[in-house]
Structure formats: structure tokens, C-alpha cells
Structure 1
Amino acid sequence: MISSTNSAVDPDAPSRFRYHERDGVIWGEYWGDTVTFGRFVGTRRAHVLAVTFAHVTVTGGSVVTGASTSTVEEGADGLRLVERFSIEGVDHESVCVEVVPGL
């Protein structure tokens, strides 16, 4: 994750996401920065991902749940996900970039 309106992103230890997909169904996990442990599941249709997520926060250990819609874009830094989500009725946006292992 490189930016989020929900929290400041630690550039040295940002949240990281791992995505899996089979036949348009996606699932994965995420961790780091403000998240101890998170999971998501959803679908992909063309360049749009729709997921439901749940995670435990580092501070306070609260459980946060919600839904998001992400658009896959090609940028100068590779693939990007522009994610729009709502937590407790407040709309947010985050941007994640693809990290290729070994580079």
C-alpha cells in the first residue's frame, strides 16, 4: 500500500496484500502497518474486484469489517489497485502497487 485516506502509510513497513484467484473468485490475506492480520474474499469481473474483508488492528486489537471495490490500473510503477471502501460509514480510498518478488 502506498497511500490511504484511512491512515498514514508507513513507507518502511506498509500493509502488504497477497491475492489468489480461480475462475473469477479472489481471496487473500494482508498484514503490516496498522493491521495485525486480515483476510478477504470476493470476485473479479474484468478490471474490477469486489471483496468483503475483516482484520484485527495493531492498536487496540479491534476487529474491522467491511466491503471494498478496487479497480486494476496500469501505472508507471506497474499494476495498481485503487480501492474504495467504507468503515463505520466513512468512505476511504487506498492505492496499492504490485511488488514483484526478487526485484
Structure 2
Amino acid sequence: MPRSLDGRVLAPVADQAPGRVDTRTRFAYHEREGRIWAEYAGGDVVQGRPVGTREGNRLDFRYVQLRRDGTTASGHCVATVVDLPDGRVRLEETWQWESQPGSGTSVVEELVEEPAQQSAPHAPD
């Protein structure tokens, strides 16, 4: 079975249309006993929540989001969890809005945590 999503932060690899997630959106995932959920925000999305199930490498979830323009939207997504060679995970998603017309595919990948930059020593004045 692919790695757990719990505690992983993912981001889209490409922008979508306005009012949807984009490369500035961050998804913080949680996973327990076959259940998955997350919080997401960034770009045109103020706050979003997916919730659903995981069976093997398949996710099935519903999502709802609040956009910057004050509108809300919801939909359904089925995703495949892929283990990448470098240890990160990728979600290959097929989604469909339920609150409005539209459907599509997207890919989100785990972000690599960059080491904290060390500050240069400050020379006395």
C-alpha cells in the first residue's frame, strides 16, 4: 500500500481556471483507519475541506470550498495515490463539480520541506 497521507502537505503542479485551486494552494492531509480529510487554502480559495475514504491507493472524497469572491462550491473527486521515487506522494485526481457545471483532472504533489536558512552572523556596528 502506498505511504500514508497523514501530515503531508501537497500542492497542485499546474494552475486551473480562476476560482479553483492553483499552484499557491496548499493541502494539509490527515489519514486514519481508511478515512482521509484535509484543509486547504491559497490562491482564489479562502478555505476548503475534502473528506472521504481510502482503499489501497484509491481515494474517494467530496470537497467544499469558500472562494475569495464569497461564493462556495462543492464536488466529488476520485484520486490515485502514487509513490514517487524520491519518497514524496502524488495524487492523480479526476473531479466533478456538484454545485456547478464542470469536471476535469489535476495532479497534486507533496512539497519538499526546505531546510531553514541560517542567518548570517551580524557584525557589530
The TM-score bracket by the shorter chain reads 0.7 to 0.9
Note the alpha carbon deviations across 1:30-78, whole angstroms, 9 max, x for none. Answer: 00012110111100000011111110112x2100111101111134563
Count of residues paired in the alignment:
100
Identical aligned residues as a percent: 34
Task: Identify which of structures 1 and 2 has the higher relative contact order when contacts are C-alpha pairs closer than 8 Å and 6+ apart.
Answer: 1
1:83 is aligned to: 93
TM (normalized to structure 2)?
A: 0.69
Larger radius of gyration: 2
Report which of the two has the higher share of strand.
1
CA contact (8 A) 1:56 1:64 kept: yes
Root-mean-square deviation over aligned CA pairs: 2.2
Q: Report the CA distance between 1:10 and its aligned residue.
A: 5.3
Determine which of 58, 77, 84 is the counterpart of 1:68.
Answer: 77
